[in-house]
Amino acid sequence: MGDSNFLEVPDDCDAPFESIFLQAKAELKDLFQSMSESSPGIKTKSIKPDPGFCVKLKDKNGKKIFVNLCHTLHLPEPEDISNEDLIKILESEDPTSYRIPLSLGLPHDELDKSGMPCAAYDVIINSTFFNKVQQNELFKKFIITVAIDGIEDKYGVHPTEDDYTILRNKPYFGVMPEHAVQDRSGPLISELEGSGSGKLLHLTRHTLPGQPDTLVARISLPGVKSASELLLDVGEDRIVLKAEKHSIDVFVPCLLNQDDSQAEFNVKHQVLTVMMPIKSAA
């Protein structure tokens, strides 16, 4: 196991580290994970996405805006969730827990059919996720809202998102410019197996731009009412948790940065979340 590090586990009301980890506000516009930003040490590559569908709307000054929703296999697919799961997430205290990898392209000037100047924005998502969006009205409304809010946040435009039209028989508006996305290997979030963990432990590996990969353990602890009931030990490649009614001892397939690991216990949902930066593969 190597060196170990006993972590003090605060209740969630005293240590809101998850909001810091996700770098998100409690707003819908922060539900996406931008893959178009350049980060130190991360290469980019040029891609030509496939057109999907085009959304027409106006800004507060009445100027037309076109949002081209495109797709590519060069962006990672978000977690596959159901309609019910999405509704629960949006109604939860932390709706930013569901992240959409996407790329926001630079605005390009175009002319509408009347010859008037207008702006077009390209929003690119994973092709598999796009197919789901095409077949599911809830997810289509969701990704359109996320895309519009992302454009508003990044470029300072103020579209009237409640009054938009999806153009028929026009999958793309304007001339598509060159797009560059981060060239990352592996998925944004990948599930890992935890031997002997049963249904109590769920491990995911998170990849965020400009940050070291992070192993996140979410441990369901029914009956535990306070973090003071827990004894958590994070080793170089091992997680040990002891409580009156629960016990977990699991090795992980990577080396952990114990000193920077953090933990938080959600009293309401009786879930312990442990965030552990990854040093290298074990």
Stretch 96-116: mean pLDDT, rounded? Answer: 85
Q: CA quadruple 101, 29, 141, 169: dihedral positive or negative?
A: negative
* pLDDT value, residue 94: 62
**Beta-carbon count within 10 A of 4 CB:** 13
Contacts of 199 (CB under 8 A, 6+ apart): 220
Q: What is the DSSP letter of 167?
A: P
* pLDDT value, residue 6: 59
pLDDT tens-digit series, residues 10-36? 555 444 333 322 333 334 444 555 555
Contacts of 263 (CB under 8 A, 6+ apart): 7, 8, 9, 10, 232, 272, 273, 274, 275
* pLDDT value, residue 210: 58
Nearest Cα neighbor of 35 from 126, 155, 119, 97 is: 126
Question: In the chain, what are the domains?
Answer: 4-22+186-281 (2.60.40.790), 28-176 (no CATH)
pLDDT tens-digit series, residues 108-151? 999 998 999 999 999 999 999 999 999 999 999 989 988 888 88
* pLDDT value, residue 248: 85
- Using a cut of 0.95, tell me whether the model's pTM lies above it: no
Question: 3-state class of 51 per DSSP?
Answer: strand
Strands 238-242 and 231-235: antiparallel
pLDDT tens-digit series, residues 235-246? 888 888 888 888
* pLDDT value, residue 109: 93
Residue 255 tokens read as: 């080396």
Stretch 57-69: mean pLDDT, rounded? Answer: 92
Q: Decide if 103 contacts 123 (C-beta within 8 A).
A: yes
pLDDT band at 77 (very low <50, low <70, confident <90, very high): confident
pLDDT tens-digit series, residues 242-261? 888 888 888 887 888 888 88
For residue 101, the surrounding DSSP H or E stretch is strand 100-104
* Model confidence at 5: pLDDT above 60: no
pLDDT tens-digit series, residues 192-223? 443 334 457 888 877 765 567 888 888 888 88
240 against 45, higher pLDDT: 240
**How big is the CA angle at 264 (ends 260 and 268), to the nearest 5 degrees?**
170
95 against 256, higher pLDDT: 256
- Please give the full DSSP string across 240-266, using - where no structure is assigned: EEE-SS-EEEEE-SEEE-GGG-EEEEE
* Model confidence at 81: pLDDT above 50: yes
* pLDDT value, residue 64: 93
* pLDDT value, residue 228: 86
pLDDT tens-digit series, residues 262-279? 888 888 888 888 888 888
Counting residues of the chain whose pLDDT is more than 70, the rounded percentage is: 73
pLDDT band at 57 (very low <50, low <70, confident <90, very high): very high
- Scanning 92-221, the segments in alpha helix (DSSP H) are 127-135, 137-155
